[in-house]
A = this chain, B = another copy of it.
Amino acid sequence: MVSARGRIDKRQAILDGAFTVFARQGYAQACVQEIANEAGVAKPTVYNHLTDKATLFRHAIQAAAQSVLDQRLAALQPLTEPGTDLRATLEEVGHHLVRLHADDRSCALRRLLYAELTHFPDILDFAVESGPHRLSQALADRMARLILAGRLRATDPDQAAEHFLALLVGPLEPRSHMGTRQIGDTELRKIACAAADTFLRAFGAENANARQPAE
């Protein structure tokens, strides 16, 4: 028997190649032969691991969505220990989130989801439900803590999270030409700063509304 490690590697390679090609071509235009080439594997091997083009697609999307979500959740980390300068922490987290959102993989995944949602209604479950929704929940948890600590105004934490994410992501779409154009890091930073600024004006605690210059 071929080493189990080798099998798993092949499977991973196939899923990775599948996502790459699907991202490049869309579901219908992507042909299995090309996926096999991308993965450095023969066509029958693909069908040996994944029965269908459709299940191949589902698994590739699911893997990509999981990794994207993990990255985003990790980016919220600094908010659990906000330190003394809340603005700086928000800018940092915002910058990180915005960078992830503008990432190639992330954009490709979003495009694929939008495109094939009608043909694969079931991908909603693990891609939308556990995508932006989970992120929003996690962020709302942090917002609740900040409100309790008196560092934000007393409001609905869910709405605070929703609006912070909106301020980050909203300006991104038009500027990136729907994920086509890459955005420079300085521009991303500016977007994050602007979002943090507006957010603090609207949700900051009354006594700390003004920009605090330094410690």
Q: Could you say how many copies of this chain the assembly holds? A: 2
Q: Are B180 and A171 in contact (CB under 8 A)?
A: no
Q: How far is the CB of A208 from chain B (nearest CB, A)?
A: 14
Specify the chain B residue showing the minimal Cβ separation from A128. B177
- Residues on the B chain within 8 Å of A165, using CB: 170
0/1 interface trace, chain A 171-213, chain B, CB 8 Å (1 if under): 1011001111000000000000011001101110000000000
Q: How far is the CA of A111 from the CA of B159 in the complex (A)?
A: 26
Q: How far is the CA of A166 from the CA of B172 in the complex (A)?
A: 9
Q: How far is the CB of A155 from chain B (nearest CB, A)?
A: 9
Given A169-B166, A201-B202, CB of A174 within 8 Å of CB of B132: yes
Residue A84, interface by CB 8 Å: no
Interface size on A, residues (CB 8 A): 43
Residue A119, interface by CB 8 Å: yes
- Residues on the B chain within 8 Å of A201, using CB: 201-203
- Residues on the B chain within 8 Å of A3, using CB: none
- Residues on the B chain within 8 Å of A124, using CB: 177-178, 180
Q: Are B114 and A178 in contact (CB under 8 A)?
A: yes
Q: How far is the CA of A115 from the CA of B180 in the complex (A)?
A: 12
Residue A136, interface by CB 8 Å: yes
Within 8 A of B (CB), among A94-115: 110-111, 113-115
- Residues on the B chain within 8 Å of A167, using CB: 163, 166-167, 170
